[in-house]
Amino acid sequence: MCGIAGILSPDPEHRAAIERMTRALYHRGPDDQGYYHNGKIVLGQTRLSIIDLQTGHQPISNEDDTLVLVCNGEIYNSPALRKALVEKGHRFRTRTDVEVILHLYEEHGDDCVKHLQGMFAFALWDRIRQRLLLARDHMGQKPLFFTTGPGTIFFASEVKALLASNLVQPEMELEGMWHYMSLRFMPDQFTFFKNIQKLPAASRLVFENGSTRIDRYWDIDFLAKHSGSEKEIEEGLHHTLLETVKSHMLSDVPVGAFLSGGIDSGIVSAMMASVQEQPVPVFSIGVKEQSFNELPYARMVAQRYGMEAHEEVVESNMIHKIPTMIHHMDEPSDPFGVGVYLVAQLARRNVKVALSGDGGDESFAGYDRFAGQRLADYYAVLPRWLRQTVMDRLIRLIPDSFQYKTIAQKARWLNEMSLRERGDRYAHSMSFLRFTDDAKRSLFTEKSQSTFDSQDSREKILAHFNASNVNELVDRMLYTDLMTRMPDHLLVIADRMCMAHSLENRSPLVDHRLVEYAAAIPGNMKLKGMKLKHILRSVSARYLPRELVYREKQGFGFPIALWLRNDLAHFLRNLFAESRFVEAGIFDQKVIQTLLDEHLSGKVDHNFRLWILLNLELWYRMYFENTSVDQMHEITARMMRA
């Protein structure tokens, strides 16, 4: 696991920025750093030593030094690849896993990426051809950002490294932000900064002769389905998942696991324990509010397998951690990210590597909205006029308790979704708790909207929902999530929040081979009637307590709605009274004030919307007013007590 950076430019003053860029990535690799300088290219790397602790230094070259590589990530099938390459006559200099990429490039050129099983983002310089190849793994677990100019390209593992060059100035990307307000993630190649792009998942970028070419090398096929009975397919899933977990344990240092109390992290941890003699270190966090607390279920798994359990309880003072989280995200933080940040902090005190359960919901239909689509069809039997008038008024009378999955929230969601169909319904469900396009048109001022192309954000979802390589409704939803929320939201958070603590996070359920297997499972085995994750639950029942496997999905969450109404109410009023987005003419002050008043009075739960606005305010101060993390801590403390 590493941080990588590079500059390809004829200007030596440009190339001199590589050390500043690399230093900005120190947290991604505090164990070592290295540089490569040759002609118009410079490469930098910081290393977190996991495999080949002694000789795995980067940048690394092939036998005749014609190819040079910097790579962030792990190649889980490197032992098998190495053996095959040695048999073909290739000579290896180290035991590090990423060296196989150099020799695969010698054999297969740009298609070397198609042979890799792992998480990776790499840059490979072909000295003879004066050609740069950048690539990201199949699912987008490892990040890579870039910006180009005449005859130049700058790239790095994080945006902050590009900004540290002082050759790229921060400028707000309002079109991308428009979509973020609805989707909770930046779609396509957008980042929060104009002229800085992300290389999409499963993509290659070739920079040659001053021009850039990007192409996608892999996609998921949902059309071809497994033959055989459900029992046979379940057995195949069990075997594939167990082998995937084993491969993800490849390491020269101890490996632990996140254990949240759900079935995804539970089965990964249990499988680790089943193949390892030593107790598996597991890490769990909880909250005092019992309706949100999953620690009791995590303990069930830890006790069953004699795991080395570590726990921590979180309180509402987590607001003081948000500036640090924003610094590592280079964008607004997310409620889900709070949990990952804290459990990663706990884990890093004991291990360098931790496996997680990320990806189970996206491949096996684990979110309520998947079943909710079917429920909305049943509810839509009621006449449309009745749902739009009488039912809407009655539902709005239901008081909201500001807890998790309240009746008020569910009823409003169901009624609103029933008024839409298929793709439009699913796309709208993404923005239901955040900002719909109508809500954004009120929030963004007319002046700010005139400066960018304010497209319908639902199109970012429908582009995948209506793809030709999917036909079943449940698979359309899964494919959409795997192409959008997974690489652009969940894996972004997992990477940055773990790397903030120099911890390597591995996600077996995101392995592209497992994703391919899951895609070929018939949809009615993943979502069986209204039963979420049916086939994965069946496999999990072999390892986990029944009361954990078959309980209602809870999720890795916090009582943020309550915290915002109580402990943080004073902070919100002070923060929004000095809104930088209002001062800049981007947002309408009245709309923000209405959201805040309705939430604090208990009229409407706006916690997701307020969280976005809160984080944007802090992010703006840090990236456009050069407010440091320490200074931001002082400002938040002042606003808490002023």
**Residue-level pLDDT at 412:** 87
- Assign 392 a pLDDT band (cuts: 50, 70, 90): confident
- Could you give the residue ranges of the DSSP H alpha helices within 25-138? 78-87, 99-108
* CA neighbours closer than 13 Å in the CB half-sphere of residue 409: 17
Q: Is residue 557 over pLDDT 70? A: no
- Please give the structure tokens belonging to residue 261: 């109390």
- Summarize the confidence of residues 609-617 as an average pLDDT: 96
- Summarize the confidence of residues 218-230 as an average pLDDT: 96
CA separation for the pair 302, 283 (Å, rounded): 10
Q: Is residue 95 over pLDDT 80? A: yes
Name the DSSP letter for residue 319: G
Domain 230-364+487-549 CATH (choose: 3.40.50.620, 3.30.43.10, 3.40.50.150, 3.40.50.720): 3.40.50.620
Residues with catalytic roles: 2
Please, what is the Cα angle at 480 between 369 and 455, to 5 degrees?
A: 100
Strand 145-149 and strand 197-198: the pairing is: antiparallel
Coil, helix or strand at residue 587: strand
pLDDT in tens, 307-341: 999 998 876 567 788 999 999 999 999 888 888 99
- Summarize the confidence of residues 620-641 as an average pLDDT: 92
Q: What is the rounded radius of gyration, in angstroms, for the C-alpha atoms of the chain?
A: 24
pLDDT in tens, 491-502: 999 999 999 999
Q: Is residue 293 over pLDDT 90? A: no
SS (H, E, C) 52-78: CCCCCCCCEECCCCCEEEEEEEEECCH
**Residue-level pLDDT at 215:** 97
Amino acid 251 reads S
Say what percent of the chain tops pLDDT 70: 96
**Residue-level pLDDT at 185:** 95
**Residue-level pLDDT at 455:** 83
pLDDT in tens, 456-505: 899 999 999 999 999 999 999 999 999 999 999 999 999 999 999 999 99
**Residue-level pLDDT at 397:** 83
- CB atoms under 10 Å from CB of 400, counted, come to 16
pLDDT in tens, 132-145: 999 999 999 999 99
Q: Is residue 621 over pLDDT 90? A: yes
For domain 2-216, give the fold.
Glutamine Phosphoribosylpyrophosphate, subunit 1, domain 1 (3.60.20)
Strand partners, 33: 46
Candidates 340, 333, 299; CA nearest to 319 is 333
- Summarize the confidence of residues 349-378 as an average pLDDT: 93
Query: Mutual orientation of helices 491-499 and 335-348 as an angle, nearest 10°?
Result: 40
Q: Which residue do the tokens 């000295």 mark?
A: 127
pLDDT in tens, 153-210: 999 999 999 999 999 999 999 999 999 999 999 999 999 999 999 999 999 999 999 8
The residues spanned by each domain of the chain are: 2-216, 230-364+487-549, 368-480, 560-641
CA separation for the pair 93, 372 (Å, rounded): 54
**Residue-level pLDDT at 519:** 98
Question: Using an 8 Å Cβ cutoff, are 122 and 69 in contact?
Answer: yes
Candidates 210, 60, 72; CA nearest to 141 is 72
Q: Is residue 553 over pLDDT 70? A: no
Question: Using an 8 Å Cβ cutoff, are 20 and 164 in contact?
Answer: yes
User: Same CATH topology for 2-216 and 230-364+487-549?
Assistant: no
Q: Is residue 556 over pLDDT 60? A: no
**Residue-level pLDDT at 306:** 96
**Residue-level pLDDT at 402:** 65
First-to-last alpha carbon distance for the chain, in angstroms, is: 43
- Summarize the confidence of residues 425-429 as an average pLDDT: 91
